[in-house]
Amino acid sequence: MRADSRKNMALRIDILTLFPEMFTPVLGTSIPKRAAEKGLVSYHLTNIRDFATDNHKSVDDKPFGGGPGMVMMCQVLFDAVAKVEAEDDRPARRIILSPQGKPLTQALAQELAAEKRILMIAGHYEGFDERIIDGLKPMELSIGDYVLSGGELAAMVVVDTIVRLLPGALGAEDGAADETFADGLLEYPQYTRPREFGQMVVPEVLLSGDHRKIAQWRHEQRMLRTRERRPDLWQEYLQRNPDALEPKKKKR
Ligand code: ADE
């Protein structure tokens, strides 16, 4: 396939941020870097501050009604989004990173990986003027129930989670893109050389060469782990797989 025809198929990710330099090392390393080199994705960083119109280059102001912190202002973001969206015909799926958002899950990442274009807004300070949400109607997305000092790290998490799902992003050596969480179970334990490390030995079954037995053991381990560590996921799994036998606890 020619490079220019591949380019049209590439997922375009726009990131609007006050700290574009934070993204450079992450997008330029490992899978995110390789996916861009393979033409599966392109990254476009925009500094929100470039859209400030006053002498102080202000992007935030004190909240009406008082209270701590600063709030991101409407004008810079509306202007930045309009300029960036006009750079490409494809409509963008707009996302704002926020602890108030919908939780990021593997299923949501899969949905986002099927988009042609994603525009992410990473804010800093106490939050956004609510009219940014009302006007731009982005999906608010959270990476977990904790508060970061800005949306940048969250945006990087979202990019990494999506990009590794793009067909062709992972080499065979990185494992299947659809393994962990794809069926709602945690991963099974892995071992490599040596067979014995001090007193700790690799489970016998993995050395047996019996692939059916190995697959059975691994599935059982996934169920045991999920039941022990994530009862919430285990209950959901049981709902979808009512025939899944409650696994008996076994020594490894
Ligand atoms: N910004 C601050 N905290 C965040 C979180 N947990 N998820 C997404 N964006 C955030």
CA–CA gap between residue 74 and residue 213 (Å, rounded)? 59
* Number of the ligand 1 atom closest to the C-alpha atom of 145: 6
Ligand 1 contact via 203 beta carbon (within 6 Å): no
Residue of 15, 96, 125, 142 to mutate, ligand 1, most atoms within 8 A of C-beta: 142
Which atom number of ligand 1 is nearest to the Cα of residue 97? 9
> What does DSSP say about strands 196-197 and 117-121: parallel, antiparallel, or unpaired?
unpaired
> Tens digits of per-residue pLDDT, 95-132?
999 999 999 999 999 999 999 999 999 998 779 999 99
Ligand 1 centroid to residue 147 C-alpha, Å: 5
Which H helix or E strand runs over 82? Answer: helix 74-85
* CB atoms near residue 201 (< 10 Å): 13
Please give the class, per CATH, of domain 3-163. alpha beta
DSSP classification of residue 124: B
pLDDT at residue number 137 = 98
pLDDT at residue 4 in the model: 47
3-state secondary structure of 140: strand
- Which residue, by CA, sits nearest to atom 2 of ligand 1? 148
Closest CA to 164 of 179, 152, 186: 179
**pLDDT at res. 179:** 57
Nearest CA to ligand 1 atom 4: 99
| Beta strand pairing call for 60-61 and 71-72 | antiparallel
Does 151 sit in the ligand 1 pocket, CB within 6 Å? yes
pLDDT of 7: 52
C-alpha–C-alpha distance, residues 71 and 127, integer Å: 5
Looking at the domain covering 178-252, what would its CATH class be?
mainly alpha
pLDDT, residue 63, reads: 95
pTM for the model stands at 0.90
* Tokens representing residue 83 in the block: 């300029």
For ligand 1, the distance from its centroid to the CA atom of residue 101, given in whole angstroms, is: 8
Pick the closest to residue 155 from 11, 18, 10, 23 (CA basis).
23
Extract the tokens encoding 62.
Answer: 């004190």
Q: 82 to each of 55, 89, 98, 122, 147, how far by Cα in Å?
A: 22, 12, 21, 16, 28
Write down the pLDDT at residue 178.
46
* Structural domain spans, the chain: 3-163, 178-252
The response to whether residue 17 sits with its C-beta less than 6 Å from ligand 1 reads no
Residues of the chain with pLDDT below 50 are: 1, 3-4, 6, 177-178
Burial of 245 from C-beta contacts in 10 A (0-12 / 13-18 / 19+): exposed
pLDDT at 243: 83
- Measured by CA distance, the residue closest to atom 9 of ligand 1 is 98
Distances (CA, A) of 199 to 182, 191, 195, 196, 250: 34, 15, 10, 7, 19
If you measure from the C-alpha of residue 145 to the centroid of ligand 1, how many angstroms do you get, rounded to a whole number?
8
Contact 43, 102 (CB under 8 A): no
Ligand 1 and 121: CB distance under 6 A: no
